[in-house]
Amino acid sequence: MANVPLWEILWVLATLVTGAVMFGARTGPYRSVSNLSRWVTCLRIRPVPAWLSDRTADQWAFRGGLVALVLLLAAAWLIPSQQSPEVPVAVPDSSKGPVAPQAPGAAVNSRPARHIDLDLQNAIRLHVAKTKRVRMVVLQDDAEADQFSWEIDAFLRTEGYNVVSPRLIFAMRAGEQTPSGTAIYPDEKDANIIVIRIGLNDR
């Protein structure tokens, strides 16, 4: 009972009281006075109010009980049940953008998202000739790296570079260190291709 919200206890009590009043209003052999007044007398509650002794009190009590039950059912439907505090729930902070899926064994990266800046733009202009094709290689299951790679892709196309499609995704084997930052180097298999590899966020 310690974990039961107070409103649920009150809801159950209100339902039981309403049901008891409706039952009392409909139960009893009496005709000259209300059934409720006779139940009150049996419970040794005195004096009995005149309005409760009136025969119409049973009808009003029963109709009021029906309305109360409808309201209680509506309250139970609209008010969500409280989650047990024994089960912790992690709530992602959506205000900071999408949360990158975490690879098994990878460290949590809490750095702010990267954006292409003037230094990276100048490095691309200096080290990547427009006569070469450019291939994007992105770290697998890293939403931040993927978003950053699309910014670089847009810059390359704006500058007139020939970007190779589709882009490649890489992942490291167990025990291998995942590269970080942005690297620019010639493709080992094709001298006409320059690789821009996006690793872990190092900013």
User: What are the 10-residue block averages of pLDDT along the chain, 203 residues in total?
Assistant: 60 73 62 61 66 63 72 71 44 49 52 88 91 92 90 92 88 84 90 91 79
What local confidence, expressed as pLDDT, does residue 134 receive? 94
pTM, two decimal places: 0.45
Name the region of 27 (left: φ>0; alpha: ψ -120 to 50; beta: rest): beta
pLDDT for residue 27: 65
Contacts of 19-22 spanning 24+ positions with Cβ under 8 A: 19/65, 19/69, 21/61, 21/65, 22/61, 22/62, 22/65, 22/66
Q: pLDDT value at position 184?
A: 92
